[in-house]
């Protein structure tokens, strides 16, 4: 199968074609987009998909039982998650992720209102070639989108957690590239509860009380906004594994369990519409209009 999509290994968002067979990526090739990457892509993006091949996947909801986890069905997992958040009396904070789509981050923001933050950025070297082709130091694909649709994010979130007496965290996991520093390990170990939405066993899931299985890169669908303010369509190439669910859907189910009157979105398009109602920059955006080459949101006229 050949699928037009977007590289997720830095904030440039090069356009790519993803070639896959059943549940395996075979190769990525650059796809022409003169507004983003010309005709090029770099080797970080070209070969980056191999690092997802040997990982330990999370494909069932799980709840901590001592040193290990018990498997739960989805109804129980959503109920337990909502119960923990409810019982914390507004003392749960959400952590959004620049590795996730705009829609998932937006729904986390809707649920957690103004108690929202980010983990430290994941960065590498910024490289610009003589041709002008650039690899961004920001090795996440959607930091700009997260800031666009999360309202005001706390600058120094680790300090804010202490001053607001937060006792629980609901985290959208960045995935296999996330490492935790001592400050964050200490914060997580001292929480009453930590809910982590992830596709794999990471330092975060190891410290979680509830793990909700979302989708991995190349399985996800949604929009991401590159560092030049261009919104692009991330399309899935691989089938969903086990009992995992799309991340936006998990967040919607938890929100529905918390707030009985909240919307039940039937698809991504409805989430994008709601996002546009709240954030004018994203008004009028649809997957159809984004198409294969994206839309610049700078002074846009959609
Ligand atoms: S420059 Fe960034 S987005 Fe483009 S291929 Fe390389 S890692 Fe991927």
DSSP element (H, E) containing 10: none
Q: Is 41 in the pocket of ligand 1 (CB under 6 A)?
A: yes
* % of the chain with per-residue pLDDT over 70: 99
Ligand 1 site, residue 175, Cβ cutoff 6 A: no
Q: State in Å: Cα 143 to ligand 1 middle.
A: 14
The pLDDT, as a whole number, for residue 69 is 97
Q: Cβ(222) to ligand 1 under 6 A?
A: no
Q: Give the number of other CB atoms < 10 A from CB of residue 114.
A: 13
In Å, the largest CA–CA distance within the chain is: 56
CATH superfamily of 2-52: ADC-like domains (2.20.25.90)
Residue 293 tokens, joined: 């080459």
- For range 10-16, the mean pLDDT: 98
* Residue 211: per-residue pLDDT: 98
pLDDT of 163 reads 76
Q: Which residue from 10, 124, 125 has its CB within 8 A of the most atoms of ligand 1, so it is best to mutate?
A: 10
Q: What ipTM score was computed for the predicted complex, to two decimals?
A: 0.99
Q: What is the pLDDT of residues 180-204, one digit of tens each?
A: 999 999 999 999 999 999 999 999 9
Please give the pLDDT value at position 300: 64
- Do domains 2-52 and 62-296 share one topology? The answer is no
Residues whose CB is less than 8 angstroms from the CB of residue 123 and which lie 6 or more positions away in sequence, other chains included? 137, 138, 139
CATH 3.30.420.40 fits 62-296, yes or no: no
Mean pLDDT calculated for residue range 127-146? 96
pLDDT band at residue 302 under the 50/70/90 scheme: low
1 versus 301: the higher-pLDDT residue is 1
Sorting pLDDT into bands at 50, 70 and 90, what band is 19? very high
Q: Give per-residue pLDDT as tens, 52-96.
A: 998 999 999 999 999 999 999 999 999 999 999 999 988 999 999
- The domain limits of the chain are 2-52, 62-296
Pairing outcome for strands 193-198 and 116-117: unpaired
* Percent of the chain whose predicted confidence (pLDDT) is above 90: 90
Which residue in 172, 208, 213, 188 sits closest to 65, CA to CA?
Answer: 208
**For residue 269, how far is its CA from the centre of ligand 1 (angstroms)?**
27
The token pair that represents 34 in the structure block? 């003169």
**pLDDT value at 151 more than 90:** no
301 has pLDDT over 70: no
pLDDT tens digits, residue range 269-293? 999 999 999 999 999 999 999 999 9
Which of 135, 139, 140 for a ligand 1 pocket mutation test, highest count of atoms within 8 Å of Cβ?
A: 135
Ramachandran quadrant class, 55 (left: phi over 0; alpha: psi -120 to 50; beta: rest)? beta
């Amino acid at each position: 199968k050949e699928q037009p999509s977007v590289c997720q290994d830095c904030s440039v968002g090069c356009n790519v074609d993803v070639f896959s067979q059943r549940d395996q990526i075979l190769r990525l090739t650059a796809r022409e987009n003169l507004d983003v990457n010309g005709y090029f892509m770099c080797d970080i993006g070209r070969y980056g998909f191999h690092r997802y091949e040997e990982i330990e996947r999370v494909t069932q909801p799980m709840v901590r039982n001592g040193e290990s986890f018990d498997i739960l069905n989805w109804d129980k997992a959503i109920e337990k998650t909502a119960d923990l958040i409810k019982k914390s009396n507004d003392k749960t904070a959400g952590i959004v992720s620049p590795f996730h789509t705009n829609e998932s981050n937006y729904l986390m923001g809707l649920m957690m209102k103004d108690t929202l933050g980010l983990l430290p950025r994941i960065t590498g070297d910024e490289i610009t070639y003589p041709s002008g082709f650039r690899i961004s130091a920001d090795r996440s694909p959607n930091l700009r989108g997260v800031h666009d649709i999360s309202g005001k994010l706390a600058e120094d979130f680790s300090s804010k957690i202490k001053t607001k007496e937060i006792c629980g965290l609901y985290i959208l996991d960045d995935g296999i590239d996330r490492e935790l520093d001592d400050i964050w390990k200490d914060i997580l170990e001292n929480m009453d509860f930590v809910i982590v939405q992830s596709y794999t066993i990471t330092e975060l899931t190891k410290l979680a009380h509830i793990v909700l299985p979302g989708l991995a890169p190349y399985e996800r669908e949604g929009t991401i906004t590159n560092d030049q303010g261009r919104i692009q369509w991330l399309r899935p190439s691989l089938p969903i594994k086990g009992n995992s669910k799309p991340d936006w859907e998990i967040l919607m189910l938890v929100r529905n369990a918390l707030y009985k009157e909240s919307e039940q979105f039937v698809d991504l398009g409805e989430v994008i519409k709601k996002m546009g109602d709240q954030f004018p920059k994203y008004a009028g955006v649809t997957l159809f209009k984004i198409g294969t080459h994206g839309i610049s949101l700078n002074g846009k006229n959609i």
